[in-house]
Amino acid sequence: MHRFFLPASFAELMTITGKDAHPISHVLRMKVGQQLQIVSNDQVSALMEIEAITEAVVSVRLVEKLAAFNEPSVRIILAQGLPKSDKMDFIVQKAVEMGVSEIIPVAMDNCVVQLDTEKARKKTERWQKIVEEAAKQSKREIVPQVSRPLTLKQLLVLKQGVKLKIVAYEVEDRRGLKELLQSQKSVKEILLLIGPEGGISKEELDLLKEGGMTSVSLGKRILRTETAGLATVAAILYETGDFGG
């Protein structure tokens, strides 16, 4: 069943226009009477029936709201130290499949990649497109947002209200992820920071701790940056029961 994310609040009668209308009429060649799924930007999922269709506009009417809510019980914000080459494409895609709700690329001391404003804009646009495709494929109820790259200071200010702020720190050897998660069972939103290939500098860690972040170890093995975030997200979702219960 095809699923479309509509940039509008839910209504019993809705219209699909722009970049989604054309594929419905011309690529999928759907007809009046056929059904499709929509997700509104106020996170309502519904089965809808096509009432009218032209190349530019598709009118759909509610058949039934879809109870299944595919989103995890915890909102995970992945702050990812900008990795080399196109690793971020992979990280973004997999993070959305796993259930991450927001992705923030972070320019850090040891990032090889330094993006100027124009490059950052283009990259963010590219990553957002990857997010939208991954959200459709994985039947998410929302389209996670990729922000433009931030500095650590900007991240800490923007997300200061998040109750549980975790930094996976490769030098940490006292506190593990499980211990931290089990001490925070009721938390509904988590900020997770992963460093780039070159790791997190001591100065950055001091800044992060001042900003209320808790460092955790992911074990004795050093994970690649593209592994660390996904492994940690998986562990969090396992702990919250969002891996099938």
Strand partners, 61: 13, 49
| Contact pattern for ligand SAM over residues 168 through 207, marking x by CB under 6 A | xxx-x---------------------xx-xxxx-------
Identity of the amino acid at 221: R
Local structure of residue 19 (DSSP, 8 states): G
Among 106, 225, 233, 242, binds ligand SAM (CB under 6 A): 225
Q: Provide the β-strand partners of residue 243.
A: none
Phi, psi of 19 (to 5 degrees): -70, -15
Distance (Å, rounded) from C-alpha 57 to C-alpha 51? 11
Among 11, 115, 187, 223, binds ligand SAM (CB under 6 A): 223
DSSP state of 82: P
Comparing CB distances to ligand SAM, the nearer of 36 and 104 is 104
Smaller CB separation from ligand SAM, 30 or 83: 83
Rounded to whole angstroms, the Cα distance separating 42 from 173 reads 42
| Residue number, nearest CB to ligand SAM | 195
Among 153, 163, 188, 224, binds ligand SAM (CB under 6 A): 224
Among the candidate windows 35-43, 55-63, 181-189, 217-225, which touches ligand SAM by CB under 6 A? 217-225
Q: At residue 64, what are phi and psi to the nearest 5 degrees? A: -160, 150
Find the binder of ligand SAM among 116, 202, 210, 219 (CB under 6 A): 219
